[in-house]
Amino acid sequence: MTKHMLEFQMFFTEHIAQKVPHRHFVFTMPKILRRYFIMNRESLNDLSRIAWAALRMFMTKTLNTESMPAAAQVIQTHGNLL
């Protein structure tokens, strides 16, 4: 890990993240769509927002609780030619 990544990790765990029940979700992209996002990297932000909206809707509909879902998202573009 780079120094920048370690600094962000420490900042996030000490100042942002709270000790609450959590889940880890991974969204992947079919290989056929990867070519589009290689040429349009800015669209990855839109894709991330759409994935979060879908996950948030799923959580609020299925959990039947008053809790508010939150997310920390990371877009990974290295590996597998993306």
What is the number of structural domains in the chain? 1
CA dist., res. 45 & res. 54, Å (int): 14
Compute the half-sphere exposure of residue 12: CA atoms within 13 Å on the CB side of its CA.
10
The answer to whether position 72 is within a domain reads no
In a domain, 32, yes or no: yes
Any domain includes 71: no
Q: How far apart (Å, rounded) are the C-alpha atoms in residues 82 and 80? A: 6
| Residue 69 within any structural domain of the chain | no
Residue 77 lies in a domain: no
Q: What is the pTM of this model?
A: 0.66
Q: Which domain holds residue 36?
A: 3-63
Digit-by-digit pLDDT tens for the chain (82 residues) are 688 888 988 998 888 887 877 788 888 888 898 888 888 888 999 999 999 999 989 888 888 777 778 888 888 777 655 4
Q: CA neighbours within 13 Å on the CB side: how many for 30?
A: 2
Contact between residue 51 and residue 27 where contact means Cβ atoms under 8 Å apart: yes
Angle at CA 77, nearest 5°, toward 9 and 70? 50
